[in-house]
Every structure is written in structure tokens, then in C-alpha cells.
Amino acid sequence: MNTRSISRRGFLKSASLAAAGGLAWPQIFPRSILSGAEGAAPSERISVGWIGTGHRGGAVMGGFLAQKDVKAVAVCDVKTDMREQAQKRISDHHGGAGCAAYNDFRELVARKDIDAVLVSSTDHWHVLHSIAAARAGMDVYMEKPMGLNMAECAALREAMEKNSRVFQFGTQQRSDARFRLACELSRNEKIGKLHTINVWSPGSSAGGSTQPASVPSGLDYDMWLGPAPFKPYTPDRCSNSLWWFISDYALGFIAGWGIHPIDIGVWGADGLFDGPIEVEGKGEFPKQGVCDTALDWRVKLKFASGVKMNFTGSPMPEEWKQRYPGIQSHGTAFEGSDGWVHVNRSVVNSHPESLVQSKIPADGVHLYESTDHVRNFLDCVKSRKPTVCSIEESVRSESLCQISELAIRLERKLTWDPKRERFTGDEEANRRLSRSMRAPWSL
């Protein structure tokens, strides 16, 4: 697809400039061009690379490979077996066409023929991988959560904006009609005046051996650690069942799962970030084992608008179990003066029940409509328009997970200034908004 004379990114940039100048691009192509592999014109195909091909990377890969205008050209993973499995999967999908495989992500982002990357590595690598891709001129679909601290989130936002890159966050619930409906009912005050948002997710896990062990063959442990502090390898430290509950590499499910219901809570309420946010809460942490992120939490956030948010890990309050039909281990509920609406990945329901049948008037609040998260990203790569999960909105949602985690660690009320992205009058809390990185890695 890409050539030495003009890359696809260059073509798209030229096209967008021409459109901005009022020029019309003729939609007439020779039949030979329109008969590209898998039914997509070569000039319209998007070359994609993967950084991280494990559990989430493999799952989202299926969504990309299902698109006829995607050409998967490269994968990167520090685990040999994962890397080779992904390489074979892609090569088989493309009928034996070559797919390059790398251990070092810098080799992948150095390529000139990649338009976009899926970043689905471990959480502590998300931001560095995404920034490297953005600086190389690649658009980024990044799996959630965003990073380990707000300094990383701010650096990612700056890189995306400075390099004019399209960004999609892996909060896929925004591409589900159930969640959009619930948020529109709230935003249009079909439940009356919004006063409370309840959000909940599964909690983290404990355990993990602390006994040093030999690094398994096929794992580049030093590259896996990357910016994280060096720790001797222990059994299963790098497995998908363990690492996201170790604070050197993740914040646990308060961010890794919690970002999903939090993001919907943000989407369904207007003006949450117009003023200071008070946050306080308690968390339960493991007392032994290598895992050290919050097993459970109860966080209360109060916004300047007067809206309150209750954010909890499992087990959820008994009152919610009785209140919301079809409740699951995750969900978001908007409570208003005249009723409520509750949504998860299986149901959307309300009180009164008739609310879910309400029609939003033409002049009402209609949220961004996306029916497929990957497709939305790819369409925006072509159009250069913001995705349903733009970088600015994603950072805002992520910030609530971040400040919640800090509040339960410090065990005191904090006041967050969303404009300055700093805590007011608490320097200890502000020092925790960044982390040092192991050399040679840095933002």
C-alpha cells in the first residue's frame, strides 16, 4: 500500500488539507485499483502493527482482522510463544502473506509502512509504547487502562495532540447502544435532575509467590520490566493472571476494570470537570503474596456541580443488588430526582420502566454514535476525525480512577483540580502523580 514517493499517511494528510481548502476529490478509480485483496482498494487499506499480543491483544486482534480494509503487517511481543502465535495467525489470515515479528517495539515503530498500532502490552508500558508510535506518525488504538500515574496520561495526551494522531481508548462500552441509551437518558434529564452516579466493577486478586525463580525460556524479562523497578523474577509474575495486580506494573482493577463503568458515568453526566472534585475512600489490600493492589474499595467523589459518584469494587452494596434488576459484577447507574437508569453489558433498565422507551427529541443531547469500536477507529484514521473515545475525554475518565486509587492509599480526603490536574493543598499527594522510571526509559 505505501510507497517511497508518498505514504498513506501523507496521502491522507494531503487529502484533508485539500478538503479544508474547498477542493473536491473525485471518487473515481480504475477497476484494477478497486480490486484489492479482501475487497478493499489498496489505497484504502490501513497497515496495522501490534505491540503486545497476549490475552487482550489477541482478542482485539480479531476485531481488526475482521475488517476488509486492514492489512496486518507486524507484531511485537517479548514472549516468543505469543509473538510466534500472533505472527502465524496473521499470516494464515492473509493467505500466507508475510507478517514481521519483533521482540523490541522500537523496531516496529521504526517502519515506514505502518499507519496504526494496537497497543495492548502490560499497563506500565502502555504510555511509552503509544508515545513512541505517535512520534513515529502512527495512529494509536490503546487498550485500557491508560497508565500508572497522571504524568504519564498528560504526556500521552501531549504526544497525540502535538503529532496530530488519531487515538482510540479501549473503553469499548461507548460503542454499545445500551450504554449510549443510558447516558442519553441521563443527559436529557429523562430521570429528572441527576444527583448520584453509582459505578462498580470486580475487585483485584491477591496471592502470587514471592520466591525467586528462573526466568522462563522465551521471555525477555528485562524488556518486559522496561521502566518498572527491577525485581527478581518470581513464578507467574509475568502471567496475565497476576501482573495486573502488582503495583509496579498496574493499579489493579480499580483502573483495569473500573475504567469501564467510570467512563460511562462520565459520558452520561455533563460538567463533572468544571470545578474541584473531592475524593475520599477506603480500600482493602493484600497482606501477603506478590500482589499488592486494592482487593476492594469504597470511594466517594463529589463534584462541584453537586453530583456525587459512589465507586466500589466487589462485593457491591446489598442495596444495589436489590435496586437494579439484572445487576452484574460491573455496571453504572444514574440516579435522578424522577427515577434511575442502570446499564451493564447485558441489560439496560430503569425506574419507571417506561423510561428506557423514551425518545430523545431532535434538539436533545445525542451522543457520539459508534456501533463497532475498531471500525470507529479505522474510519477516523481515514477521516482524521476524533474517535468516540478521544484522547481528552479518555484522560478525564482515567483521572477519576487515578485519584480514587491515591485517595484509598493515603486514606484521607483529597481535592482535585481538574484544570491544573493537581491536588489542592496536598504536596504528598501531588508527588504521587508521577513515578521515576528505570533507565534508560523515560517519558
Query: Max Cα separation, the chain?
Result: 67
Residue 337 makes CB contacts below 8 A (sequence gap 6+) with 191, 192, 193, 195
DSSP letters of 321-349? HHHSTT--SSEEEEEETTEEEEE-SS-EE
3-state SS, residue 65:
helix
Q: At 33, phi and psi to the nearest 5?
A: -75, -40
Residue 407 near residue 413, CB atoms below 8 Å: yes
Which residues are 333's β-sheet partners?
198, 342
Of the chain, the end-to-end C-alpha distance in Å amounts to 32
Grid coordinates of 19: 478538503
| pLDDT score, position 40 | 60
**Could you say which DSSP state residue 219 is in?**
B
Alpha helices in 348-416 (DSSP H): 373-383, 391-410
| pLDDT score, position 1 | 40
3-state SS, residue 430:
helix
| pLDDT score, position 96 | 81
Q: Where are the domains of the chain?
A: 9-20+30-173, 177-367+391-431
Residue 360 backbone zone (phi > 0: left; psi -120 to 50: alpha; other: beta): beta
C-alpha atoms less than 13 angstroms from C-alpha of 405 in its C-beta half-sphere: 30
Residue 201 near residue 310, CB atoms below 8 Å: no
Vertex 176 angle, CA 184 and 141, to 5°: 115
3-state helix, strand, coil in the chain (%, to 5): 35, 20, 45
C-alpha 118/C-alpha 105 separation (Å) is: 12
Grid coordinates of 149: 500515574
Task: Select from 276, 174, 222 the least CA-distant residue to 439.
Answer: 222
Grid coordinates of 259: 475504567
Q: What is the dihedral of CA 99, 101, 104, 106, to 10 degrees?
A: -10
Question: Alpha carbon of 254 to those of 136, 239, 406: distances in Å?
Answer: 32, 19, 11
Grid coordinates of 141: 488504538
H or E segment at 435?
A: none
Helix axes 391-410, 259-267, angle to 10 degrees: 120
Vertex 331 angle, CA 326 and 336, to 5°: 90
Sheet holding 348-351, edge to edge: 348-351, 339-343, 331-336, 194-201, 308-313, 296-303, 277-284, 414-417, 422-423
Type of residue found at 290: V
Grid coordinates of 351: 425506574
C-alpha 178/C-alpha 343 separation (Å) is: 7
Task: Select from 78, 134, 176 the least CA-distant residue to 389.
Answer: 176
Q: Does 3.40.50.1820 match the CATH number of domain 177-367+391-431?
A: no
Residue 404 near residue 281, CB atoms below 8 Å: yes
Neighbours of 66 (CB within 10 A): 12
Look up the CATH superfamily of 9-20+30-173: NAD(P)-binding Rossmann-like Domain (3.40.50.720)
| pLDDT score, position 43 | 62
Helix axes 177-187, 259-267, angle to 10 degrees: 40
Q: What is the dihedral of CA 204, 208, 212, 214, to 10 degrees?
A: -90
Q: Strand 308-313 to strand 414-417: parallel, antiparallel, or no bridges (unpaired)? A: unpaired
C-alpha 50/C-alpha 43 separation (Å) is: 21
Residue 124 makes CB contacts below 8 A (sequence gap 6+) with 147, 148, 226, 227, 228, 248, 249, 250
Mean pLDDT, each 10-residue run in order, the chain (443 residues): 36 35 30 37 84 90 95 97 96 88 98 97 98 98 96 98 98 98 98 98 96 97 98 95 96 98 98 98 97 98 98 94 96 98 98 95 97 98 98 98 98 98 98 97 94
| pLDDT score, position 4 | 28
Neighbours of 254 (CB within 10 A): 30
